Structures are given as structure tokens and as C-alpha cells.
Amino acid sequence: MDSLDSIKNSLIDNILATNNEELLNVIFSIFKVAKTEGKISLTKEQSEMLILGEKDIEYGNLVSTEELDKLDKEWLY
């Protein structure tokens, strides 16, 4: 048995053996946070902007970094 399985089994054993409700709630909260970690919620507008950006890439509507820097300088000064 590898160490990951060993850790999982040890956690399961300890969870089943405890009657400490507060401890179990904390463990549950940790798993809940870990499950949602990395997920990002986007607004409707943000999703639409990403779709438009993907379409720009698909149709070749791109601007190089150099061109963008030049446009920024013109706009700022």
C-alpha cells in the first residue's frame, strides 16, 4: 500500500473512531474548501468577454505586444 492510501485509510479510521462533532465539522469544512479551491465563478459579462476573446483569436484579430505598447503610448501622451 502506498503512502497516499495509508494516509486515506488512517483518516477514515480516525474519523470513524471519533465522536467529537466539532472536530468532524472542522474536517468537513476543510474538505469543502479544498473541493471548491481553484474554481472561479465568472459573471455573465466576464464569460461573454472570454467568448469574444476566443472568437478574436479564431479570426486572427490580434495585436502584437509591440503594437499594443505603441497604441498605449499614443493614448497616454
Q: Is residue 1 predicted with pLDDT exceeding 60? A: no
The per-residue pLDDT for range 12-66, each reduced to its tens digit, is 999 999 999 999 999 999 988 887 777 778 899 999 999 999 999 999 998 889 9
Of 33, 1, 27, which is closest to residue 14 (Cα–Cα)?
Answer: 27
Q: pTM (2 decimals)?
A: 0.45
The per-residue pLDDT for range 2-26, each reduced to its tens digit, is 899 999 999 999 999 999 999 999 9
* Residue 8: predicted pLDDT: 93
Query: What number of CA atoms fall less than 13 Å from residue 44's CA on the CB side?
Result: 0
Alpha carbon distance 43, 48 (integer Å): 9
Q: For residue 59, give the H/E element and its range.
A: none
